Structure 1
Amino acid sequence: MENFQNIVVEIVDQTAVVRINRESKLNALNKETIAELKHAVASLAENNEVRGLVLTGTGPKAFVAGADIQEFLAKSKAEAMELSAFGHELMDRLANFPKPVIAAVNGFALGGGLELAMACHIRIASSNAKMGLPEVSLGLIPGYGGTQRLPQLVGKAKALEMMLSGEMIDAADAHKWGLVNKVVEQEVLMEEVYSLLNKMYAKSRNAIATAIEVVNTGFNAEQDGYKAEINAFGQCFGSDDFKEGVSAFLEKRKPDFK
């Protein structure tokens, strides 16, 4: 993996840990950081040694505390739409990543930072984390998928409350509303993430990729998630993982997925 200016990529056993590394800016997302993340995500998707991906921020304060507002100055409408589309490409790559993606939310996740976390499949937060979409305070709306993903996670009414007030919620409230899967103390955050991923690594790589794909299909208004499930279920029956999984179950042993 090449050297990046704004992110750090480390492979720990079978897990790729990607840290947004702009601590002095509270890890704010600028265009260069988004470009580096897109490049890293594309490369890691092709790396067969990597079974899962973790996104987190450097330092104890922030996951990503929003977009870099300096970049917004003097942009035309067309340039703003181009920037939004550029961010959407990253979020869509994460959402459709064929391996588990966990956001380790280690502090503030605001604006583009919360949108980045929501694009991940699972979110585990440290107890000090705070989340929100404060764009209305700038006369804006979320531009990296937040208007669509937040209602999917917390429901329309809570999403609108958060977006229209621009106020933050704490980790406990985020957990109550289903925005994060679990809340732990910051010092054990990565340990918790690795523990969950290791449970997944013991399962079929093919089945995990298929499940991610079919679940995402159900959120696409142009596709029929139920039909996709039927087709994918049938496809699994032809896989080596299925044969090994069933054999292991009948023989009362742990499966050895290749």
Structure 2
Amino acid sequence: MTGTPVVRTEVDGHVGRITLSRPEQLNAITVQLGTELEAALRGLGADPEVNVIAIRGAGGSFCAGGDFHEVERLRADGPAGLSPLFEHFAAACRAIAEIPVPVVAVVEGAAAAGGFELMQAADIVLVHDEARIADNHIRFGQVPGGGSTQRLPRLVGRQQALGLLLSGDRISGAEAHRLGLAYRSWPDAAFDTEVEAFLGTLAGRRRDAAVGIKHLVYAGLESDLGTGLGLELDAVVAHISGDAGGAGVTAFAARSPA
């Protein structure tokens, strides 16, 4: 892509940080942003020093969804013009499940339409209590195109998903937490401190163990319970039998009471 990058990356210790950087547009999604986001995720995911990746929006908002000006411009070329916008964003969301390390969405301000869909795609979500979250496609007579109709029912069930999608209701970060759309929610005074503490915890975990757990969860979600349990059994035996797993068992035994 040409022009000024709209996705920034940095590595801070064992934390890979991705920042959506279109603050004046509330980090709205363009073809460029989707393309750069996928590249950032895959690049950091391949870095052996990175144990966790955080996605955050610049300027106090996560992501307000698709950029209306870009959508209007691309519509002039019909389906062939519009498809790349959705394809590149879908590829970025899909990359989250495909890279080995956990990806954490840090959500504050607006997370609407595509921004809400990116939040749904994340492995773990941390939200500000007062974040403004909605799939508001229906309010404009539109259909979601970034995964809401598929991911949202799997996260919160059919009833809640259809309620949110068909009403376009906006919920707070605290409400998103109660619905199971986020792992933790904090007020403004504690938000940044708690987010950094959580990222620091994940960054300090053994990378091979974290990678193994994420892989097993996703593999299990795509199979039946029996198959998933078999995968877990094979994985734990292989892990403990190895040098890294053996060291962990020895350390655990040393801490356990006789």
Normalised by the size of structure 1, how large is the TM-score?
Answer: 0.88
The residue type equivalent to 1:206 in the other structure is D
Is the alpha carbon distance of 1:122 and 1:4 closer, same or farther for their aligned partners in structure 2, counting shifts above 3 Å?
A: farther
The residue type equivalent to 1:228 in the other structure is L
Give the Cα separation in 2 of the matches to 1:120 and 1:4. Answer: 26
Q: Deviation per CA, 1:4-23, whole angstroms, max 9, x where unpaired? A: 61122222221111111111
Aligned to 2:246: 243
Identify, as 1 or 2, the structure richer in helix. Answer: 2
1:152-171 equivalences under 5 Å are 152-171=154-173
Q: Deviation per CA, 1:9-63, whole angstroms, max 9, x where unpaired? A: 2222211111111111011111101111111111111212211111011112x10
Contact 1:122 1:181 in 2 (8 A): yes
Aligned to 1:130: 132
Contact 1:133 1:162 in 2 (8 A): yes
Aligned to 1:146: 148
1:192 aligned to which of 176, 191, 194: 194
Give the Cα separation in 2 of the matches to 1:192 and 1:199. Answer: 11
Structure 1: runs of 5 or more not aligned: 254-258
Deviation at 1:206, TM superposition (A): 1.0
Give the Cα separation in 1 of the matches to 2:247 and 2:85. Answer: 46
Aligned to 2:87: 85
Give the Cα separation in 2 of the matches to 1:219 and 1:166. Answer: 28
Is the alpha carbon distance of 1:239 and 1:123 closer, same or farther for their aligned partners in structure 2, counting shifts above 3 Å?
A: same
Is the alpha carbon distance of 1:123 and 1:226 closer, same or farther for their aligned partners in structure 2, counting shifts above 3 Å?
A: same
Deviation at 1:131, TM superposition (A): 0.8
Give the Cα separation in 2 of the matches to 1:76 and 1:222. Answer: 41
Identity rate, percent: 29
Q: Deviation per CA, 1:58-113, whole angstroms, max 9, x where unpaired? A: 112x1001111223222533544453332221111112331121111011101110
Q: Secondary structure at the match of 1:251?
A: helix
Give the Cα separation in 2 of the matches to 1:97 and 1:190. Answer: 25
Please report the RMSD computed on the Cα atoms of aligned residues, expressed in angstroms. 2.2
Contact 2:107 2:125 in 1 (8 A): yes
Aligned to 1:15: 15
The residue type equivalent to 2:69 in the other structure is Q
Aligned to 2:55: 55
Contact 1:6 1:33 in 2 (8 A): yes
Is the alpha carbon distance of 1:93 and 1:4 closer, same or farther for their aligned partners in structure 2, counting shifts above 3 Å?
A: farther
Is the alpha carbon distance of 1:97 and 1:189 closer, same or farther for their aligned partners in structure 2, counting shifts above 3 Å?
A: farther
1:226 aligned to which of 224, 229, 244: 229
Give the Cα separation in 2 of the matches to 1:42 and 1:134. Answer: 29
Structure 2: runs of 5 or more not aligned: none
Deviation at 1:186, TM superposition (A): 3.2
Equivalences, count: 250
Give the Cα separation in 2 of the matches to 1:4 and 1:240. Answer: 46
Give the Cα separation in 1 of the matches to 2:4 and 2:194. Answer: 27
Q: Indicate the larger mover: 92-101 or 23-32.
A: 92-101
Q: Indicate the larger mover: 164-173 or 83-92.
A: 83-92
1:211 aligns with 2:213: yes
Give the Cα separation in 1 of the matches to 2:223 and 2:85. Answer: 24
Deviation at 1:214, TM superposition (A): 1.2
Give the Cα separation in 2 of the matches to 1:32 and 1:222. Answer: 38
Q: Secondary structure at the match of 1:47?
A: coil
The residue type equivalent to 1:183 in the other structure is S
Q: Secondary structure at the match of 1:40?
A: helix
Q: Deviation per CA, 1:129-182, whole angstroms, max 9, x where unpaired? A: 011111122332221222121112221111110001112111121111011111
Is the alpha carbon distance of 1:176 and 1:43 closer, same or farther for their aligned partners in structure 2, counting shifts above 3 Å?
A: same
Aligned to 1:67: 66
Give the Cα separation in 2 of the matches to 1:239 and 1:89. Answer: 34
